[in-house]
Amino acid sequence: MDKSSHISVVLDLSPSQWHLSSLPHNPYPLSFKSFLSQVLAFLNLHIASKHENTLAVFGAFPGKSVMLYSSSNPASDSSDSGNPNIYRPFEIVDSRVVTRIEEELELIDDKEEEAPIGLVGALTKALCYINRITHPTTSTQSTIVEDPAILPDPRILILSVSPDLSTSYIPIMNSIFSAQKLKVIIDVCKVYGPNTVFLEQAAHLTGGSYVYLERRDALLQHLVMSHLPSPALRKLMAVPTQEKIDFRAACFCHKNIIDVGFVCSVCLSIFCAPVPVCSTCRTKFPIKTLQRLNASRAPALRPVNGAAKTSAPSTPSLPSTPR
Amino acid sequence: MPPRKDNEYIDADSDSDVDILDESGNRGRKSKGKAIDRRRKDKGKGKSSEQPYAWEASYARSWDTVQEDEAGSLTTAVADLLARNRRRRLLAPANAIRRTIIRHLIIILDLSLSMMDRDMRPTRFDLSLEYAREFIVEWFDQNPLGQIGLVGMRAGLGERLSEMSGNSQDVLKAISERHKLEPAGEPSLQNAVEMARGSMGHLPTHSSREILIIFGSLTTVDPGNIHDTLEACIRDRIRVSVVALAAEMKVCRDFCDKTGGQFGVAMNEGHFKDLLFELIPPPAQRVLSRAAGAGATNPAADLMVMGFPVRLPDTSLPALCVCHSELKSEGFLCPRCSAKVCDVPTDCDICGLMIVSSPHLARSYHHLFPVKPYQAIISLEEGSAFAKSCHACARSFPDAPTSTFTATAEGMSPLGRYRCPDCHHDFCTECDVFVHDVVHCCPGCGK
Ligand SMILES: [Zn+2]
Ligand SMILES: [Zn+2]
Ligand SMILES: [Zn+2]
Ligand SMILES: [Zn+2]
Ligand SMILES: [Zn+2]
Ligand SMILES: [Zn+2]
């Protein structure tokens, strides 16, 4: 029998990116309003497809992250008279998510709008929440009753619109490894903007799927086809797989995303240029290595040196690609 | 929850910090015990007098270590474990940096009939499989860029159990099926070492080449002169270490002494494990700690150039790989010369760049940038606003202190409330443990 499943949805709610996304010069402009209504339809589908299915929604705002909804503590104001034409759980999810987003957006002033997006916070919150529901608590004051027989099959779906934030490289990698430990898969749907290297790696390393949305008018269809089926079902379906996975990393010194880096052999810190001392573990590197690396690094800038180097057998003098 | 087996990407066990609640107390105790053992060993080689032989040892009953309180409940014991874990974290040294170099190791397992001996419980064979598993997990944790291959010695032949791989799950899978490894016949040291040597021939020069032999037999049946094999190992700079389960053999001792490896005869189960686990830290570390300790300039430290590749999916157009000249779809592209290689980490055959996948490096970063310990909130009487629920998982906090925690209060919050010193958000007990032991990233600060 198909098990119940849990989805933690992480919504990237960067106002500036959503503004860019809705501009009419895009091939398929997608406004935030239309995005939200399609996402809510998806959330309703998830709840409707099995009674035991659980859901949590997290919002990543500029500079902060918030839990918008969770099925274990749904809206407290359940007394208000709902629309009799709408299935009650749908209405709760919809109204709760929409009001919470409105509340949080109200709180953001213009200064904060420029703050980096709190995606890492939302992702780690989702992991903490999943940790809590999959490992029934040991303490006695718990209010949630968990039946261990119907532990949900957890996964995280990230709907991303912001570009990679290179300062979050290490936290994202740490989140990926904890997701692996919790056996949580991370699905990524890139709704707007360029591919993000870190989220590609997240989906790849946790066995999730990464979908780059080209036809953004078909968001709901993509969500339903590739992100609704539970992990058990995906074996039977042709879920879109990733094209290429970019294993680039961010350097520790300038947070640039690089494809060739200089790595400290002691602590494995990555630098984008040869450094005499590792800034993380204070290890001094041999001067010889620095000279050799500096010489082989810029053959195009100093052709005389580069030519001289070709006679030296120790260093390969292949031109390095510009980084 | 039964783990999903269909998912080959998840390698959950490759980081040994994986204890969330239950084993944490035991782990702390165990590692402390190990440290004491090691100190004892360093002092002098007098461990035999202090450690009992296997037949003298008494059973350690794990259920004795957890005790019920007066009310017959385990809650206090659990809380006690938690508290101990928190204190351990607060006391942990700040310099948790370990040196790591690129290592290649072939483990040769004795699968001859002598491994069925029962002088180690349950049998030498079962015990070495179990320890080998623990060894592999721990080894990959400390050597994230390393690779391990497995070779078995059975019925006079060397058998390749698993290819060199940087994925601990691949290696563990090879020894997960006991029935496929059923011991038989005599071992052949020469055949196995030659097989291991053959699979390390192509390795880059800056990486280490090591062989670890778990040897239970007292004989070896070899097709030729084993001293020729020894010479070849010295020539290839392969370091051979032997953990013998029976007794010292001259040829094994020679292998270790002449190649710079370690030789040890296990006297009991614990000693066997210690001998194995001594081989986990990278050799550079051992040399350094013996020579001078902290502060000295480390000759092994270096800056390495590494490339982070692009992985091609198995749906891409097939192309020849530069390592085997085979037509394949999947593979990795060298970022410098765009040559296609089959697996990482490796050296690009065209431009010589070391190609690694960055997640391999990132696995050890949480040791470099740990999350600050959260402060336990003792009382709510400070007048400031207190959040109703955990900032991470949204579980509501209790309003009044709970009685179960008061007994073991040190380092624990009676309110189950822990506050991040940076972002001043409050977290519950469970999230506190989870954030510090697993995620290594504060959900409030986002870093
Ligand atoms: Zn840099
Ligand atoms: Zn370093
Ligand atoms: Zn190949
Ligand atoms: Zn190359
Ligand atoms: Zn919590
Ligand atoms: Zn914090």
Interchain CB contact of A6 with B (< 8 Å): no
A285 and A176 in one domain? no
Condensed to tens digits (0 to 9), the pLDDT of residues B208-245 reads 789 999 999 999 999 999 999 999 999 888 999 999 99
A226 and A137 in one domain? yes
Task: Decide which of A209, A234, A259 is a domain's last residue.
Answer: A234
Q: How much is the average pLDDT of A162-181?
A: 88
Number of domains in chain A: 2
B140, B168 Cβ separation under 8 angstroms: yes
Superfamily in which the B103-277 domain is placed by CATH:
von Willebrand factor, type A domain (3.40.50.410)
In the DSSP assignment, the letter for residue A250 is E
Q: What's the gap in Å between the CA of A25 and the closest CA on chain B?
A: 31
Ligand 1 mean position, distance from CA A271 (Å) = 5
A198 and A99 in one domain? yes
In-domain check, residue A28: yes
Q: So what's the pLDDT on residue B9?
A: 45
Least confident range from A168-182, A241-255, B114-128: namely A241-255
A101 and A209 in one domain? yes
Say which of A242, A259, A270 has its CB closest to residue B313: A242
Ligand 2 mean position, distance from CA A276 (Å) = 11
Specify the DSSP element, H or E, that contains A156: strand A153-160
Interface test with chain B among A8, A73, A181, by most B beta carbons within 10 Å: A181
Which one, of B151, B163, B235, lies nearest residue B188 by Cα? B151
Q: So what's the pLDDT on residue B6?
A: 45
Give the side-chain half-sphere CA count within 13 A for B232.
Answer: 14
Q: How much is the average pLDDT of B394-409?
A: 64
Interchain CB contact of A290 with B (< 8 Å): yes
A164 and A26 in one domain? yes
Interchain CB contact of A287 with B (< 8 Å): no
Q: Tell me if A171 and B395 make a contact (CB, 8 A cut-off).
A: no
Residue A267: pLDDT over 60: yes
Q: So what's the pLDDT on residue A316?
A: 40
A64, A113 Cβ separation under 8 angstroms: no
Q: How far is CA B38 from CA A54, B270, B388, B389, B440, in A?
A: 49, 12, 47, 45, 29
Surrounding ion ligand 1 within 5 Å at CB are A 251, 253-254, 272
Ligand 1 mean position, distance from CA A262 (Å) = 9
Please state, in angstroms and rounded to a whole number, the distance separating the CA atoms of residues B174 and B224.
29
Mean pLDDT of chain A: 80
A265 and A203 in one domain? no
Nearest 5°: the CA angle A207, A210, A212 is 170
Ligand 3 mean position, distance from CA B158 (Å) = 24
A135 and A279 in one domain? no
Task: Decide which of A170, A202, A234 is a domain's last residue.
Answer: A234
Q: Which residue of B has its CA nearest to A246?
A: B310
Q: Tell me if A174 and B297 make a contact (CB, 8 A cut-off).
A: no
A135-159: b or e for each residue (b if 16 or more CB lie within 10 Å)? bebbbeeeeeebeeeebbbbbbbbb
Interchain CB contact of B169 with A (< 8 Å): no
What does the DSSP assignment read for B155-182? Answer: TTEEEEEEEEES-HHHHHHHTT-GGGG-
In-domain check, residue A287: yes
In-domain check, residue A241: no
Q: What number is the ipTM of this complex?
A: 0.81
In-domain check, residue A239: no
Interchain CB contact of B394 with A (< 8 Å): yes
How buried is A102 (Cβ within 10 angstroms: 0-12 exposed, 13-18 middle, 19+ buried)? exposed
How much of chain B exceeds pLDDT 70, in percent? 67
How buried is B25 (Cβ within 10 angstroms: 0-12 exposed, 13-18 middle, 19+ buried)? buried
Interchain CB contact of B41 with A (< 8 Å): no
Condensed to tens digits (0 to 9), the pLDDT of residues B307-351 reads 999 988 877 888 898 877 888 888 899 999 999 988 777 778 888
Q: Which residue of B has its CA nearest to A277?
A: B303
Say which of A118, A141, A316 has its CB closest to residue B351: A316
In-domain check, residue A38: yes
Q: Which residues in chain B have their CB less than 8 angstroms from residue A257's CB?
A: none
Condensed to tens digits (0 to 9), the pLDDT of residues B116-146 reads 988 888 899 999 999 999 899 888 877 777 8
For residue B332, give the 3-state DSSP assignment. Answer: strand
What is the fold of B371-447? Answer: Herpes Virus-1 (3.30.40)
In-domain check, residue A242: no
Q: So what's the pLDDT on residue A112?
A: 66
Q: Which residues pair with A57 in a beta bridge?
A: A9, A69
Ligand 4 mean position, distance from CA B356 (Å) = 12
Q: So what's the pLDDT on residue A298?
A: 58
For residue B420, give the 3-state DSSP assignment. Answer: coil
In-domain check, residue A244: no
Name the residue with higher pLDDT: A244 or B213.
B213
Ligand 5 mean position, distance from CA B436 (Å) = 12
Structural domain boundaries in chain B: 103-277, 306-367, 371-447
Condensed to tens digits (0 to 9), the pLDDT of residues B360-377 reads 888 778 777 778 888 888
**Domain containing A114: what range?**
5-234
For residue A298, give the 3-state DSSP assignment. Answer: coil
